[in-house]
Structure formats: C-alpha cells, structure tokens
Chains A and B, each alone.
Chain A
Amino acid sequence: MSEPVVGQRERRVAGRAAQPPSPGSVWRRPWLPYALLALPFAIYGTFVLYPLALTVRLSFYEWDGLTAPSFTGLANYVDLARDDTFVAALTHNGVFLIFYTVLPVALALGLTVLLTQEGAVRGLGVYRIGLFVPQVMPMVVVGVIWRWMYSPVDGAINELLGLVGIAATPFLGNAGTALPAVGLVASWVQYGFALVLFMAGVQSIDRSLYDAASVDGAGMWAKFRYITLPGLRGPIVVATTVSMIAALRVFDLVFVMTRGGPAQRTTVVAFEIYQRAFVLREVGGAAASATVLVVAILVLSRLVLRFQEAP
C-alpha cells in the first residue's frame, strides 16, 4: 500500500530536480493554472456540463415543458424499456453502426491501399477531392438528394436499374429496404472522412519499411497486415470513434428521408427524442432517452479508445 506512494513521491522529487530552475516558473504561482482554466471551465460548464446535468435531472421528472414538473423517479426509464418503438430505435442505431462505421472504415482502408500504390493511379488529386466531397455537403442536402434518387418516379437509381430490366422499387417505402437504403447514404457520406485520415496516416509511415519488407519477399497482403494496418492504428481509432458517435446520434438523414417510417422501421433514438420533446411534449421522457443515448456513446467511445492505448 505505502510502497507505491513512496515511489511516486520519489519520482516527483526527481522530476522537479531535473527541471531547470527558471525564474517565473509556473510552480512559483500555484494558482496560475487554475486561473487559466477558469474561463474555459466557465464556458464548458455553462454550455455543456450544466445542460447535461439538467437533462439528467429532468429525466427523473414528468414535464410538459410548460406547467410545473413532477418528480417520478425512474418511471421514464421504465417506460422506455417497455416501449417497443424505443427499443426498435436503439436497434436501428445498432444497425447504423455497420453503415456508419464498419462499411466506411473497411472501404476507406481498401481505397487507401489502392490510392497509395506508387504510380498505380493517375490523377490522384482528383480522386482525393472527389471522394471527400460527400463529407463536405450538409446532411440535409444529402438527404434530400438521395430521397430524389431513391424515388420510384424518375429517381436516378430506379432509372438505372430500369436499364437492366429491374422494375422500379420504392426503396424508402418498403419495410425491408428502407433501413439499408438510409444506411448506405450514411456510408457514402462517412467513408470520405475516414479516407482523408488514412491517406494522411499512410504518408507518415516510413517508406523504408515497405522497401525492407519487399526485400524480405513480403507480398501486398503481408505489407498491409504488418505495416499499413499497425501504422494506421491512430487514424482508425479516430475514424471509428467519430463515425460511431455519428451513427448513434443520427437525426438529420432519417428526418429528411423517411421521418422514421415506414411504420417506424427507420426510427432512431435521436428522432424519438425529438418526437417526445417537441411533438408529444413529454420532456422528461425525451431527457431520459437523451441520457440513454449519452451513456451509450460514452461507453462505446471508451471501448474503442482502449485500442489506442494498447501497445
């Protein structure tokens, strides 16, 4: 018990001794770091922590947003667990993890390998820009455009399928196709972001590693598996975390393309929060849903970030 404490103190003393004794060092004014932190904390506290804590608190109340709220304990959470639509929404967010994270990251990895083959691709700059464009467009615009493209009346996708003799399908209106149809749009948007991260990451990998591997007779797969993949650990973790959070809080695409339909088969947690807060005026239930979402995001992010810290 006491041994590590001694060890820590020793190290700290050693650390301080190693520091050059510069006049005006922050250590002479121990309050300075806190003073410097005060403003950021005030801003962070006002706009992030306070609303977050308020949301958690509201989740224990029944409130219509107008009249006095009444404390109901865990009732909102019990209701959520019993609400088939909310459970379905959570499941859909789970499915979106595949479309937001797994597919784009895998696709971006493949493209990274292709685009970084020396001399293999002409006009690389054009590809890089072109592949990144979806990431730049506002999600609402993306949603509207894809809603047109999926339309069974003169929609681009159905027109193309028509050329090879496939009858028009209402992709967004069919119970079986609506969720993947929305999901694929998300993949289309997300892979550009992962690709840019990976391309930058690959450039920081020492080329001599590849040369050495070639000399040792490594093939493309071996180079990818033992040099590129480990070299991209950081960018992969970042891309996974960011896209995962996007998958969990998705709202705009669903709202614009399907409003959660048909028959709530594309509804997601963020859409349910909106419904409860602004349509049904069940602010407490909305706050409980939001709290569940925040916890889910924190837990999943924590799991992914573990990979970054591993040796």
Chain B
Amino acid sequence: MNDQGHRRRRIRMLSLLFAAGLALTACLPGGGDDEEASAGETAGAQTGGGQAGDPSQAGADELVVWDIYVRGTERDVAEQLTSEFEEEHGVTVTREPKNLDDLKATLPLAMGQDDGPDVASVNQGRADMGAIVAAGGLMDLTDFGREQGWFDTWGDNLLARNMFDESGEQFGTGNLYGVAPQAEIVGWFYDRDTFDEHGLEPPATFDELEQLLATLKDAGETPITFGNLDAWPAIHTYGAIEHTFVDTAYLNSLIFDGDVSFDTQENAQAAETLQRWADQGYFTENFSGIGYDDSWAQFAAGEGALLLTGSWIAGELDPEQVGFFLTPGDSAGALPPQTGGMGVPLAVRAGTDAPELARQYVAWMTSERAAELWAEAWLPSRTPAADAVADNPLMGELVGAWDQVLAEDQLGHYLDWATPTFYDALTAQLQELLADRTEPRAFVEALQDDYAQSSQG
C-alpha cells in the first residue's frame, strides 16, 4: 500500500516534470519560429549589402576562413597561400581548418550569423550548399566569376555543380556560389610492373579493358583491388561502367533536373557488367569485408593490378610505379563521360563585412600560383605550369586526363548526388548486386522507385 502510493506519487511527479518541460517549450513556439525566419531575412538583407561591396567597412581587413585543409601537404599549401595573400593585401586571415563532417554540421547555422566565417568550404549538393542558399547564407559569385574568367577556365558544365537558383531548390543552374582549388577525377590507377610483366598497355576501348581484366585473371593476378565494406567505393566502380553507356546530357538531367528515369536499358546493362565482373572474380576476394583504406593500402603495397578510384588517392601512391588512365569508350578516341568534379568549393558568407576581400581570397586560392602548389599532392582544378608536375609522372598523367575531360566536355557525375536519399539507396542496392542478391533489372527498378519518390518530395 505504502509502496504503491510512493510509486504513484513518483509517476505523478515525473509527469509533472515532463509537463513543465513541455510548458517551457510552449512559451516560445512563436518565438522559435520567428527567430528562424528573421535569421533568414537578416541574411537575405545582408546579401544585398554584401553585393554592394564596400571594403571600407569595419573589419574589412580581417578574414575568418573555415576550410577543410586539415592535414599534411594540404594544410601546408593552404597556409603558404594564405600568408602570401596576407602579405600582398596587408590583411589578417585567420584559418580555422575543420574536417568535412564537422563543417557540414556547423556551417548551415554559422553562415546565417554575424560572426560566422567570411569564407568557408561548403560541400556541394542539395543537402549542404542548397540548404544554405535557401536560408540566404551564401553570396552570389556569378558576376565576380565572369570578371575572373572562371566560366572560360572551367566551363558551364563543371561550374553547374556549384550553382543553385536563389531559392536553393533548382540545382545546377542560376547563381554561382563557389569554386574549388582542387579537382577530382575517377579512373584507373595501374601497377606499371604488373602491366610490363604481362605485356599489357592501358586499353583504348571498353572491350580491350574487359580483355585486359580477363588476361590478368587468367594469369593468376587480382585484376582490380577493391574493398566495399564502406559501401561507397562501389558507387565509383558502377559509375565508371555506367558512364560508358550514357551521355552527359542524361547524367545532367539525372542529377540536376530529376526528369529522367533511372530504370533504363543502359543502367541495367551497366549493372549486368558489374555483376559479371564480380562473378568472374575480377575483384579482390572477400571485397565485401574490406575497408577502402585497407584496399588502397593493398594496392599501394603492390597487390592487384588496378585500382578504380578518384584522383584524391594519388598522394598515397608511388608516382613512378603507378600510372593512370580514364575509362575507355566503345571506340578508340571516343571518350565517354568520366565521374569527377571540383573538390569542396570555397564560398563567401552573404553577410560578411569584407565581401571584396573574401572574393579575392577565393580567387587567390584557385589561381595559377595556387595550382602549382596544390599539384604537389592533389590534382588542381586549374592546370598548373608543366614544370610544376615534371618530377611527378603520375600527377602529370592526372593533369592530362583532367584537361582532356574538360576539353572534350565529358565530365560526368557522382551518381549518389541525384537525390538526398540516393546515396543510401545506391550503396545498399550495389551491395546486394555484388553479393548476387538482386538482378540487374530489379536493381534499376528499386533505384528508380527511390529516385522518383525523392524527386517528388
């Protein structure tokens, strides 16, 4: 009886506490929403002020930069370039490097605040750049970019990845919100010794590529070093194959407009090819349980003949020992679209006190001088002078490949950008496909379901 009473009283007390908590929040339902709205409005208002570009404002000789150049050569290059910028302009730049996950979590709010960074690395795509544009947090760099000749250097197709309309809804068109000093291109790294040993050359057509894989397999080699425990590497493998079946127009529509279907003959054919490669043992044994880092480390240690991944890994590989080629197409000389793009772009906060200086900083970090330094460890988005890569044959090949892709306007896409949920859907379906748990037809149908659902919502 006494116990019962105790317990009942305790429960009543708990409900009371909870009700009190609810009441606390109830005090500011209007308040909370208004705050959100006004934050957006202020940021919007500041966009106008920012575009007027008044460098004489208070704080115009100081910049705060949040970038992703956290480690090693990247950090050194960013520091070197920043101090050169400080000297030239007689200003103070405070870099606050953060890893990408931290940035993704903190930037959306910071870009709407008065004490947010003036320049920041803003991840591409709807969930990040799009959301911040929608909240009025980013400065439109279109006119500045035209003055700087960015559209001539990089072309509309590449810069479209950093463009949104003002509402942040329509991706790939409208205003330009940033450019990146680094480029990414996905292709085939190969071990020169293994190729020499079997008398192989980089293939000129997709058929030659498949023959090459068969030759390596028959010779007892692991044709492709692959590890898919982290799930995303398969996006690049599938993407490379899929891109040879489609054109850039389809890919642009798929990523930016959402008005095409994923359930196509071409996409199913690509799935069929990928599954066949897995069944024929072209990939590292037990790849489903091997992480990406273990996988490239295996390749760097000389295991496996090929590694299909992005140029970001180049700094980890022996530049003399490893070569690079792009995924070949149906016929020699007909380059199919290649997955790639710019690195995480630098963007300017709409409400910055130093709009002109901030824009100049972005221009400087992506200049030709910057490209020379970036080329030490990372494929630069702008072609560096030839002597900058003279002592690094692998980087030389990557720069050549990037130039070719831009010149032939054959830049494709990371397929997971299609919708916010497509990464999860695609990685899950690819794991099923590679484990023979789904068929190519069911694969494209399932992905189309997700794509259609997400495009509507």
Interface set of A (CB-CB < 8 Å, partner B): 8, 41, 44-45, 49-50, 52-54, 56-57, 64-69, 85, 147, 150-153, 168-175, 258-259, 261-264, 275, 278-281, 309
**How far, in whole Å, are A151 and B230 apart by their CA atoms in the complex?**
12
Across-interface contacts of B429 in A (CB, < 8 A): 263
Across-interface contacts of A279 in B (CB, < 8 A): 127, 420, 423
B341 CB–A CB distance under 8 Å: no
Across-interface contacts of B132 in A (CB, < 8 A): 66
Q: Which residue of B lies closest to A70 (CB)?
A: B33
Q: How far is the CB of B430 from chain A (nearest CB, A)?
A: 9
Partner of A278, one of B17, B104, B428: B104
Across-interface contacts of B3 in A (CB, < 8 A): 309
Across-interface contacts of B285 in A (CB, < 8 A): 152, 168
Chain A binding surface SS class: loop
B447 CB–A CB distance under 8 Å: no
- Would you call A263 and B288 a contact (CB within 8 A)? no
- Would you call A152 and B289 a contact (CB within 8 A)? yes
Additional 14 contacts, C-beta under 8 A, given A68-B36, A170-B286: A41-B17, A50-B21, A53-B22, A57-B25, A67-B134, A68-B40, A85-B424, A153-B298, A170-B287, A172-B229, A172-B289, A263-B427, A263-B431, A281-B420
Partner of A261, one of B22, B29, B231: B231
- Would you call A261 and B428 a contact (CB within 8 A)? yes
Interface set of B (CB-CB < 8 Å, partner A): 3, 5, 7, 17-18, 20-22, 24-25, 29, 33, 36-37, 40, 104-105, 108-109, 112, 127, 131-132, 134-135, 228-231, 285-291, 294, 298, 420-421, 423-424, 427-429, 431-432, 435, 437
Q: Which residue of A lies closest to B108 (CB)?
A: A66
**How far, in whole Å, are A4 and B437 apart by their CA atoms in the complex?**
66
* A-B interface pairs (CB < 8 A), number: 129
- Would you call B112 and A66 a contact (CB within 8 A)? yes
Q: How far is the CB of A262 from chain B (nearest CB, A)?
A: 4
**How far, in whole Å, are A311 and B36 apart by their CA atoms in the complex?**
54
Partner of B135, one of A54, A66, A168, A170: A66
Across-interface contacts of A169 in B (CB, < 8 A): 286, 289
**How far, in whole Å, are A195 and B131 apart by their CA atoms in the complex?**
49
**How far, in whole Å, are A53 and B17 apart by their CA atoms in the complex?**
10
Q: How far is the CB of A36 from chain B (nearest CB, A)?
A: 15
**How far, in whole Å, are A280 and B104 apart by their CA atoms in the complex?**
11
- Would you call A170 and B229 a contact (CB within 8 A)? yes
Q: How far is the CB of B185 from chain A (nearest CB, A)?
A: 25
- Would you call B36 and A69 a contact (CB within 8 A)? yes
Chain B binding surface SS class: helix
**How far, in whole Å, are A116 and B249 apart by their CA atoms in the complex?**
73
Across-interface contacts of B289 in A (CB, < 8 A): 150-152, 169-174
- Would you call A45 and B229 a contact (CB within 8 A)? no
Partner of A151, one of B36, B290, B435: B290
**How far, in whole Å, are A172 and B288 apart by their CA atoms in the complex?**
8
- Would you call B229 and A54 a contact (CB within 8 A)? no
- Would you call A173 and B36 a contact (CB within 8 A)? no
Known contacts A45-B21, A53-B25; is-contact A262 B420 (Cβ 8 Å): no
Known contacts A66-B108, A170-B286, A173-B228; is-contact A52 B21 (Cβ 8 Å): yes
- Would you call A281 and B231 a contact (CB within 8 A)? no
- Would you call B420 and A280 a contact (CB within 8 A)? yes
Across-interface contacts of A66 in B (CB, < 8 A): 36, 40, 108-109, 112, 131-132, 134-135
Q: How far is the CB of B29 from chain A (nearest CB, A)?
A: 8
Q: Which residue of B lies closest to A261 (CB)?
A: B231
Q: Which residue of B lies closest to A65 (CB)?
A: B108
**How far, in whole Å, are A77 and B339 apart by their CA atoms in the complex?**
38
**How far, in whole Å, are A67 and B18 apart by their CA atoms in the complex?**
28
Across-interface contacts of A152 in B (CB, < 8 A): 285-286, 289-290
- Would you call B424 and A264 a contact (CB within 8 A)? yes
Q: How far is the CB of A206 from chain B (nearest CB, A)?
A: 25
- Would you call A264 and B428 a contact (CB within 8 A)? yes
Across-interface contacts of B36 in A (CB, < 8 A): 66-69
Q: Which residue of B lies closest to A173 (CB)?
A: B288
Partner of A173, one of B105, B290, B428: B290
Across-interface contacts of A52 in B (CB, < 8 A): 18, 21
Across-interface contacts of B25 in A (CB, < 8 A): 50, 53-54, 57
- Would you call B421 and A280 a contact (CB within 8 A)? yes
List 10 A–B pairs whose Cβ atoms lie within 8 Å, in order of A's numbering: A44-B17, A49-B21, A66-B108, A152-B285, A259-B231, A261-B231, A261-B428, A278-B105, A281-B108, A309-B3
Across-interface contacts of A173 in B (CB, < 8 A): 228-229, 286-290
**How far, in whole Å, are A261 and B432 apart by their CA atoms in the complex?**
10
Known contacts A66-B132, A279-B127; is-contact A147 B40 (Cβ 8 Å): no
Across-interface contacts of A65 in B (CB, < 8 A): 108-109, 131
Across-interface contacts of B420 in A (CB, < 8 A): 279-281
**How far, in whole Å, are A158 and B438 apart by their CA atoms in the complex?**
27
Known contacts A67-B36, A275-B424, A280-B421; is-contact A174 B18 (Cβ 8 Å): no
Across-interface contacts of B20 in A (CB, < 8 A): 45, 49
- Would you call B291 and A261 a contact (CB within 8 A)? no
Partner of B131, one of A8, A41, A174, A281: A281
Across-interface contacts of B228 in A (CB, < 8 A): 173
Across-interface contacts of A150 in B (CB, < 8 A): 289
Across-interface contacts of A263 in B (CB, < 8 A): 427-429, 431-432, 435, 437
**How far, in whole Å, are A20 and B431 apart by their CA atoms in the complex?**
74
**How far, in whole Å, are A285 and B58 apart by their CA atoms in the complex?**
42
Across-interface contacts of A174 in B (CB, < 8 A): 288-289, 435
**How far, in whole Å, are A303 and B56 apart by their CA atoms in the complex?**
67
- Would you call A53 and B294 a contact (CB within 8 A)? no
Q: How far is the CB of B16 from chain A (nearest CB, A)?
A: 11
Q: How far is the CB of A254 from chain B (nearest CB, A)?
A: 13
Q: How far is the CB of A307 from chain B (nearest CB, A)?
A: 14
